């Protein structure tokens, strides 16, 4: 009677420790005070001694921004939807000058860019169009009370909300390194989800920010601004990096994810090219389910 019980307990312990390694519950939440977190709208996590994730968990988008702190400068990757003031949170974490760079320029990643003086981005038509501001009409499903679970930041109103224009102060090149003082962050162009997608890689620490190119939920490769062929090329590049990554830092939902998703993402894109892979047909698009994530693509995908 005892043996099966011991086996059961050991199995539970083994499974929970496996699951826990990438669970945000394991990371410390910083106490920055009410105002700095836009009254709890943002939840700031510490990932390692000089890297932070700023999650907005009360909106279904659950956007995550990342702050990489060097000895001279800090890099803020993505600024979220702009419901709260993310600059207050960043300024409460570091006094260093801030460089903003975006994983891509969809509204839910750039809408606090206007608060910062230094913004790096792509020299690309798509980026230029988006830097002039996002029309509210494009994102109605995210800009209504039903999108939110919990109190909105003080002073926020859906009527007054706008995704403001911002100015790019420096164009980034593929493979360029951003020097933060004692810390280098590599820029890796990964079009697919959008034409201006890029990863930010702290190779020394094994931290890879993937934006919307990968997060462990439903990936969007079906919209008119997505390109399936580009996405496969980017996914292949990412699969080759798997062994150098300790944590994926995804753009939505989770603050870290298992690096083995990098290889799985490429396999998933290869599988979607195979006519025998099952999918769910949804009007003009297909939905494919994989282990730990899903993908929406056009019908046919390419
Ligand atoms: Zn996006």
Task: Give 205 Cα–ligand 1 centroid separation in angstroms.
Answer: 25
Residues with CB under 5 A from ligand 1 (ion): 106, 212
Task: Give 193 Cα–ligand 1 centroid separation in angstroms.
Answer: 7
Task: Give 1 Cα–ligand 1 centroid separation in angstroms.
Answer: 53
Task: Give 213 Cα–ligand 1 centroid separation in angstroms.
Answer: 8
Task: Give 12 Cα–ligand 1 centroid separation in angstroms.
Answer: 36
149 in a structural domain: yes
DSSP H or E segment with residue 14: helix 2-20
- Average pLDDT, integer, range 292-300: 97
23 in a structural domain: no
- Give 136's contacts (C-beta < 8 A, 6+ positions apart): 143, 161, 162, 163
- State the first-to-last Cα distance of the chain, in angstroms, to the nearest integer: 57
Task: Give 190 Cα–ligand 1 centroid separation in angstroms.
Answer: 13
Task: Give 184 Cα–ligand 1 centroid separation in angstroms.
Answer: 25
Task: Give 210 Cα–ligand 1 centroid separation in angstroms.
Answer: 11
Length of the chain: 302
Pairing state between β 98-101 and 119-121:
parallel
List residues bridging with 294 in a β-sheet.
218, 289
Q: Do residues 245 and 262 lie in contact, with contact meaning Cβ atoms separated by under 8 Å?
A: yes
287 in a structural domain: yes
Task: Give 16 Cα–ligand 1 centroid separation in angstroms.
Answer: 31
Name the pTM for this structure.
0.93
Task: Give 106 Cα–ligand 1 centroid separation in angstroms.
Answer: 5
The total of structural domains in the chain comes to: 1
Q: Using the predicted structure, report yes or no on whether residue 19 has a pLDDT greater than 60.
A: no
Q: Return the pLDDT at 32.
A: 97
Could you tell me the CATH number of the domain that includes residue 154? 3.60.15.10
- Average pLDDT, integer, range 199-210: 98
293 in a structural domain: yes
200 in a structural domain: yes
Tell me the pLDDT tens digit for each residue of 233-280. Answer: 999 999 999 999 999 999 999 999 999 999 999 999 999 999 999 999
Name the residue among 36, 34, 39, 30 with its Cα closest to residue 152. Answer: 39
Task: Give 98 Cα–ligand 1 centroid separation in angstroms.
Answer: 23
Task: With cut-offs at 50, 70 and 90, classify the pLDDT of residue 33.
Answer: very high
267 in a structural domain: yes
83 in a structural domain: yes
Task: Give 159 Cα–ligand 1 centroid separation in angstroms.
Answer: 23
Name the residue among 68, 74, 64, 148 with its Cα closest to residue 108. Answer: 64
Domain extent at residue 235: 28-298
Pairing state between β 207-211 and 28-29:
unpaired
174 in a structural domain: yes
Tell me the pLDDT tens digit for each residue of 74-116. Answer: 999 999 999 999 999 999 999 999 999 999 999 999 999 999 9
- Give 126's contacts (C-beta < 8 A, 6+ positions apart): 105, 194, 195, 196, 225
């Amino acid at each position: 009677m005892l043996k099966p019980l011991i086996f059961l307990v050991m199995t539970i312990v083994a499974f929970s420790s496996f699951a826990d390694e990438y669970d945000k519950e394991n990371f410390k939440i910083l106490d920055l005070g009410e105002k700095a977190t836009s009254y709890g709208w943002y939840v700031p996590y510490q990932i390692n001694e000089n890297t932070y994730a700023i999650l907005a968990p009360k909106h279904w988008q659950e956007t995550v921004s990342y702050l990489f702190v060097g000895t001279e400068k800090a890099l803020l990757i993505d600024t979220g939807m702009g419901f709260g003031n993310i600059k207050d949170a960043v300024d409460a974490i570091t006094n260093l000058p801030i460089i903003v760079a975006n994983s891509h320029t969809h509204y839910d990643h750039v809408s606090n860019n206007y608060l910062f003086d230094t913004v790096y981005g792509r020299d690309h038509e798509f980026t230029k169009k988006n830097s002039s501001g996002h029309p509210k009409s494009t994102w109605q499903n995210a800009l209504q009370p039903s999108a939110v679970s919990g109190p909105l930041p003080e002073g926020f109103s859906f009527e007054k909300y706008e995704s403001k224009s911002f100015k790019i102060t420096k164009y980034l090149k593929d493979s360029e390194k951003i020097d933060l003082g004692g810390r280098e962050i590599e820029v890796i162009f990964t079009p697919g989800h959008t034409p201006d997608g890029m990863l930010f890689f702290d190779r020394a620490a094994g931290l890879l920010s993937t934006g919307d190119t990968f997060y462990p939920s439903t990936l969007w490769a079906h919209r008119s601004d997505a390109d399936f062929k580009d996405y496969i090329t980017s996914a292949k590049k990412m699969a080759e990096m798997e062994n150098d990554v300790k944590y994926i830092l995804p753009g939505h939902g989770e603050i870290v994810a298992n690096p083995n998703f990098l290889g799985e993402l490429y396999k998933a894109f290869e599988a979607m090219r195979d006519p025998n892979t099952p999918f769910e047909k949804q009007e003009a698009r297909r939905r494919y389910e994989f282990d730990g994530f899903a993908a929406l693509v056009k019908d046919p995908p390419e």
